[in-house]
Structures are given as structure tokens and as C-alpha cells.
Amino acid sequence: MSEELVYLNKEELQSLMQTKLEKAGLKESHAKEVANHLTYADLRGVHSHGTVRVEYYAERIAKGGTTIDPAFRFEKTGPSTGVFHADNAIGHVAAKEALGYGIEMAKETGVAIVGVSKMGHSGMLSYYVDLAAQNDLVALAVCQSDPMAVPFGGTKPYFGTNPIAFSAPTNDARPIIFDMATTVQAWGKILDARSKNMPIPNTWAVDENGEATTDANKVNGLLPISGPKGYGLMMMVDILSGSLLGLPFGQHVSSMYSDLSKGRDLGQLFILINPSYFTELDQFKQNLSQMIQELHDNKAAPGFDQVYYPGELSEIRQQEHETSGVPVAKSIYDYLVSDAVHFDRYDHSDAFAETEK
């Protein structure tokens, strides 16, 4: 049975989350940025990366696993390359700071590759590539995560959900934005299903015996998209955002939940391209707008109302939620308006937020 939902406007939602994160110990400017990021995710219908994450962040912050006054340092390693040392700050803030350096370099030199070293969980990658596209840049972002996905043909998790996001500017109001996990679904989608007491499709994950499961509480391994193809992509992401930055890889990536008093040491990588160094910018943007229109004009197959470009449904959901409000599980809303910082729910759990035995 699905849980009751509460609908909030974006300002109220952002304020509630910011207040809770500040109460946990995060400084005001960092709490505001994280809340803004999480609101963006919920507006776009990606609830797995929105309010459902607040209590986990609050618990980690309160227990010292997030550096609340980080010593950020950007190390420029070449004309178009650099590493942002995040000092295990909350990832949303660190990644946005690093992106700023990348945007400046890409505008100056035509391309930029910036790694973010030793940060916490950074949320939804499309948030960052969206900002890059608003600066007339093409962007690709990848980020490693802790072992949750079984390798193709295996039974024990080795790689994380290891997402990939892409964006490109257009002549329309919004850029093209595409964001995906390299698993069939991100872990946060299962966390969201748990919070709403809903089942999951049997193609998302397996239980401790390696059998497909529809019970979000029995998940013991996520499945890669398209079998060996997704498996290859998640390995690629792990190499680019982990090994390339000298950080732990694969099964050695720190757990999200095992000890919330310690930092995560995660890595992320941005690749930014300035289209004006390769073609005429306005024509490039017009071509992408034309592509969108031609996709819309493509005759829809039976069972479909129209053809959408990848990521467009998130844009539509954002417009709807701007008007109707953002749906939040009643249990999460009750937590947000309560006096509690957290309920000691996540610490010393396994990768799937289950209490370690």
C-alpha cells in the first residue's frame, strides 16, 4: 500500500530542508546549496535524489563524516585540466565549486577536464551539467559510488551505480539534459520505493540469493543496464572518476553507510567543451533545437503519445511540479517538520541501508 503524500511548493520544501541541514551542523551557505540541489531533483521528479536523502545527510553531518568547514583547494594541472581537492565536504557544494573552475577554463581554452577528489555524495549529476549548458558549454559528468551492482555474470556487488550525465545548449528555454545510472535503476529509486512502501519491478535488482526481487527491502544487488553494455559503462565511470584521480576503485570505494563518522573519499569528473571552438555557436544551438523539433515530429509508435528527446520528461515534470507542488512522502515530511536531527537510522548499515549483522 502506497504511503500518503504531502504536496509542497518549492520554496517551502527548500526552506524545510535547509533548516534541517543547518540544525545538523552544516553552515548556512552550504545548507542552502544542498537544499537548492535537492529541490531541483524533486522538481524534476527524481525523488530518489531529493528529500529522501535529507535524513542520511543530517546523520552523517551530525556524526562528523562531513567536513563542515572544508579547506577547498583547486590544483591547476595544465592549461585545461585541474583537480579540486574537496576535503570531504558535502559533495553538492564541492562539485559546484569545482564546476566553476571548469567553466572558466573551458570558456578560455575551449575544453576543460576537472576532477573532484575526496568529496561526499554529490546528488544528481544533471544539476551540474545543466549549469554548464546555461553557460553555452557541452558537458559530460561521471561519478563513482560504492559497490551495489553485480557484475555481468556475477553474484556479488563490485561497482556502484556510477552515473553519467550529458548536456548541450539549445536555442530554446532549456538545454538538452540526459542523466542516467549505469544500473537499471539508481539505488535512490529503491530507497524512494521503500519510503512509500511500494514494490519495484523485478528487473531492477536481486536478493541475497541472486534472484530477481520486487521487494525493495530485500535488495542485495542492483543489475547493470543492458547486461554487459551497462557493465562496461560502469567500469568506465569508475576508472574516470576513481582511478584517474588516485582514489579507491570498485569494491574498495567506501560504503555510504558503514561508518558515518568518516569521510567518503569519492571522486567525480567533469568534461566541458566550448562549442564555439569547433563550430559557430548560434548555429550549433539552432541545430539542436531543430533536432528536438524533428524528434517531436517523428510519428509516435503504438502506445506512445509522442516522441520525446532523452531527458525531456524530467523537464515536463518540473513544469508540472512548479504548478501543483512537489509530492513528498508523509513520513519524510513529518521528519522535516519535527525537532529531530535524525533517528540514528543509517550508521553502521550495509550498502543497502540494512543493519549490519
Residues 6+ apart with CB under 8 A from 36: 14
233 touches 162 (CB < 8 A): yes
Q: Which of 121, 252, 342, 348 is catalytic?
A: 121
Q: What are phi and psi of 111, to 5 degrees?
A: -155, 150
Q: Cα 84 to chain center, whole Å? A: 18
DSSP code per residue over 62-131: HTT-S-SS---EEEEEETTEEEEE-TT--HHHHHHHHHHHHHHHHHHHSEEEEEEEEE-----HHHHHHH
212 grid coordinates: 530477481
Q: How many CB atoms lie within 10 A of CB 155?
A: 12
Report the residue count for the chain: 357
Compute the distance between CA of residue 267 and CA of residue 211 in angstroms, rounded to an integer.
31
Residues 6+ apart with CB under 8 A from 2: 196, 197, 198
CA dihedral 349, 353, 354, 357 (to 10 degrees): -20
Compute the distance between CA of residue 46 and CA of residue 214 in angstroms, rounded to an integer.
20
Compute the distance between CA of residue 58 and CA of residue 66 in angstroms, rounded to an integer.
10
- DSSP, collapsed to helix, strand or coil, labels residue 28 as helix
Q: Is 121 a catalytic residue?
A: yes
- DSSP, collapsed to helix, strand or coil, labels residue 142 as strand
Q: What are phi and psi of 272, to 5 degrees?
A: -120, 135
- DSSP, collapsed to helix, strand or coil, labels residue 264 as coil
Query: Catalytic residue positions?
Result: 121
